[in-house]
Amino acid sequence: MNQPLAGYAPAPVTARMENHGNHMLKVALQTGNDLLARVGSMVAYEGFVQYEPNPPAVRQIARDWMTGEGAPLMKCSGDGLLYLADYGANVVVINLNGDGISVNATNLLAFDAHLTWGVERVKGLAKFAGQGLWNTKISGQGWVALTSRGKPIVVDCGGGEDETYVDPDALVAWSPNLKVKGKRSFKAQSLIGRGSGEAYQMAFSGQGIVVVQPSEDSTDRLRVRG
């Protein structure tokens, strides 16, 4: 009966964060090595895991996030295996190893609590903050998991003066050392983007990468559910 399903059993743990399939994240939790994850992203766990939504430390760092209604993060602690997912979005696991990455708030799934992180508003794009172009800058030695609607693509910005332009709805993450600019197409004829008549892109330049998802659906499903 379970013969076809047996292939989906979890593989043995080899790292703190791993993909189970393309759409699920498996985290090995250990006491003293806490995890911050999006509220509502837990789909299963095994072992002794405790959850603390909106912990004080997070509130301090993320007090600006979403007009102060509380950061959508929970602290997971204990010993066990934790499975996280975000409505079937692809999950990308990154071992930072000293690097830093700037992640769109919607696309952040989980990260190690001991990492250095902070919430900031994307400079120059404040006017576009209809759905919140907040990003979380994370760096240090540890693991981060991102979500992406569809398999993402990573583009190297090249390092020169050339700019790479990204639709903000499709943006997932970028290297924090890139220069970010808002770009508006002023031509009256330019009508790109979501049929709104607004044409704007984010321009990145410098040495680093940009991660983009193949979808312009940037709604925060975990938040919409509440």
Partner 1 sequence: MPREFQRGHKARISDLTAGTDLYVGVQITAPGLTFDISCFGLDADERLSDDRYFIFFNQPKSPEESIQLLGAQAGDTESFRITLDRIPQQIQKLSFTATLDGAGQMSQISPGYLRIVAGGEEVARYAFNGSEFSSERAVMLGDFYLKDVWRFAAVGQGFDGGLDALLKNFGGEVGGEGAPAAPQQPQAGAATPGFAPPAFGAPSAPAPAQPQPAAQGFAPPPGATPPAPAPSVHAAPTIIAPLTPPGGGHVPPPAPAPAPYGQPPQPQPYGQGPAPTAPMPPGYGQQPQAPQAPQAPPGYGQPPQPPGYGQQPPFGQVPGQQAYGVPQGAPQGGAGVAAALQQFKETPTGQRWTQQNRKLVRVDLGMGGQPVLARQGSMVLYQGKVDFSYKGAGFAGRIVGNATGQEMQLMRCTGQGQVFLAENSTMLHPIELQGDGICVSAENVLAFDESLQYEVRRIEGHGIPGGALFTMQFTGTGTIVVKTHGTPVVLPVTPTTFADCNAVVAWSSAAQVVVSSQVRMRRNAYPGDTGESVNLQFRGAPGNFIVVQPYEV
Each residue 84-123 as x (binds partner 1 by CB under 8 A) or -, in order, gives --------xxxxxxxxxx----------------------
Query: What torsion, rounded to 10 degrees, do the Cα atoms 104, 107, 113, 116 define?
Result: -20
Q: Exactly one of 106, 136, 147, 213 binds partner 1 (CB under 8 A); which one? A: 213
Q: Which distant-in-sequence residues (6+ apart) come within 8 Å of 47 by Cβ?
A: 29, 78, 79, 80, 81
136 touches partner 1 by CB under 8 A: no
5 touches partner 1 by CB under 8 A: yes
Angle, vertex CA 5, rays to CA 78 and CA 152, nearest 5 = 70
177 neighbors 207 (Cβ within 8 angstroms) = yes
164 touches partner 1 by CB under 8 A: yes
Return the number of the residue (47 or 118) whose C-beta is nearest partner 1: 47
Angle, vertex CA 92, rays to CA 90 and CA 97, nearest 5 = 175
d(C-alpha 62, C-alpha 24), whole Å: 26
Q: Exactly one of 86, 149, 200, 222 binds partner 1 (CB under 8 A); which one? A: 149
81 touches partner 1 by CB under 8 A: yes
List the interface residues with partner 1, window 15-54 (CB under 8 A): 15-16, 18-22, 28-30, 33, 47
